[in-house]
Structure 1
Amino acid sequence: MGDSQNENQPLLRDEEENVSTISPIGPDELPPPYQQAGMPMVACRVCQAMIDISGKREQHVVKCSDCNEATPIRNAPPGKKYVRCPCNCLLICKSSSQRIACPRANCKRIINLAPSPVTPPVPTLPGMRRVICGHCQDTFLYQILKKAPVRCPHCRKVSSVGKVKNKRGVMFGVLAVIVFAIALGVTLGTLSAAKTHGGGVYVAYVGAFILALLLGSRSIYYFTMKESKYELEPGM
């Protein structure tokens, strides 16, 4: 029996050593990009080598060419979270996951996940809310008192927060119809007189119709704009 117990003890210790408890990577732990020689760069979270992210801003992670490990450059997709295994393997799992296994053949470590880092509170400024970008699904702060489209700080694309785009689309659409109606009425009412006054009047006609076209295209731009939504706050 003694020999049997001695044989089992190393196996139990090995199994315990292969279990780790770590915290997921929170939004405030992502490396901030900065410009170097005109190229956006981030530092690898494993070896600290610089990684060029030109043309990769819409990706969630980038791979380091020096150590071949992945580094996140954007928040995890909705419902997911990042976890860095002690072997440096970057894992993406469900936000509700409590226990995961590293897929690397030379690791296979079982990881117990500590509670996710608390999301930083929204600054106590009037009208400040968190919104989810309609393009990249990342979260950013928006001042709702502006009531205007906003450019996402992550993907740099413009979107409408709430129904702002519909109001502006209707406004430009109405202006386009009014200007077009005025231009058409003036054109038909003064067409005979324009023949005697030369090409200057025709230029005014064309200018009025171009203005109506520009207003109409602006209306279409707002109606087809992506919409960003407010992030649900606890208790809502």
Structure 2
Amino acid sequence: MEERNPLLSHQGNYGTSNQEETSVSAVGPDELPPPYTPSPSGVPMVTCRVCQAMIDISGKVDQHVVKCVQCNEATPIKNAPAGKKYVRCPCNCLLICKGSSQRIACPRPHCKRIINLSNPSSTLAGGTGGNPSSSLHHVPGMCRVTCAHCHDTFIFNTLNNALARCPHCRKVSSVGPEFARCRSIVFLVPGLVCVCIGAALTITTLQYTQTYPGIYVAYIVAFLIALILFYRTLYYCSMKISLIEGPL
């Protein structure tokens, strides 16, 4: 997805990343291209939005972004395509995303933070060692979680009473064993009840099936519901458990 890809995938782009959110304060979501600044010789130039160096864009005016030769970071020289917008991650990685996107993930391996575009000043630490937004400190139940699938760290509210979907690998897991255990019991008990009802119904009405063949439908429904409930029980029992590292 474009929301997860840097505009210039060059290894040098990753060399200046910094996990601190204060590493980039002058740029942010919905970044606009800087104006052209002609040099004394008439060569079109733009200012790098990261290191403020001048970038020669002669012969590159048809591109949407250019790379700075000093810091290897991307700077836009054209407005984003229709329906898109530029977003600068605090690690300096420039991304492009849909104009309606609310959250995007930085693809850099040692960053992987989640950028909340509904509140540009709020970024969630996606990789280990990142600093979450201070505004999240006041949200009850908000904590750091290590994904059971990809072992990356993300932020999750344990009061949601729901499964957690990792923003990095997009896989679902239970945050702590308690949620999966409770859900498995919730499905196991009705499943056993349906089995008992089906068995009792079979024993007490089997002699009437020749006269009333529709009774077979009741057997099928009772045992089918029990099978579905047991499947959900097995699903939660075998679900991977993401570990809670601690509150923010």
Return the TM-score normalized by structure 2: 0.49
Segments of structure 1 that go 5 or more residues without pairing to the other structure are 1-21, 33-42, 50-71, 78-94, 96-115
Give per-residue Cα distances to partners, 1:6-34, cap 9 Å, x unaligned: xxxxxxxxxxxxxxxx97631868xx9xx
User: 2:238 & 2:17 partners in 1: Cα distance?
Assistant: 37
Amino acid at match of 1:131: V
After superposition, the Cα gap between the structure-2 partners of 1:215 and 1:48, relative to the gap in structure 1 and judged at 3 Å, is farther
Contact kept? 1:128, 1:143, Cα under 8 Å: yes
Give per-residue Cα distances to partners, 1:162-183, cap 9 Å, x unaligned: 1200111122112211111111
Pick the aligned partner of 2:165 from 144, 151, 168: 151
Amino acid at match of 1:195: Q
After superposition, the Cα gap between the structure-2 partners of 1:27 and 1:228, relative to the gap in structure 1 and judged at 3 Å, is farther
The alignment status of 1:202 with 2:216, answered yes or no, reads: yes
After superposition, the Cα gap between the structure-2 partners of 1:144 and 1:119, relative to the gap in structure 1 and judged at 3 Å, is closer
User: 1:171 & 1:118 partners in 2: Cα distance?
Assistant: 37
Q: CA RMSD in A?
A: 3.8
Structure (1/2) with the larger helix percentage: 1
Q: Percent identity?
A: 37
Partner of 2:234: 220
Amino acid at match of 2:18: I
Matched residue count: 147
User: 1:117 & 1:165 partners in 2: Cα distance?
Assistant: 28
Which has the greater radius of gyration?
A: 1
Compute the displacement of 1:123 (Å). 3.6
Partner of 1:25: 18
Partner of 2:208: 193
Partner of 2:143: 129
Segments of structure 2 that go 5 or more residues without pairing to the other structure are 1-14, 24-28, 30-65, 77-105, 112-127
The alignment status of 1:183 with 2:198, answered yes or no, reads: yes
Compute the displacement of 1:220 (Å). 0.3
Q: What pairs with 1:34-113 in structure 2 (closer than 5 Å)?
A: 46=73, 73=107, 76=110
User: 2:139 & 2:132 partners in 1: Cα distance?
Assistant: 17
Contact kept? 2:142, 2:247, Cα under 8 Å: no
Contact kept? 1:23, 1:117, Cα under 8 Å: no
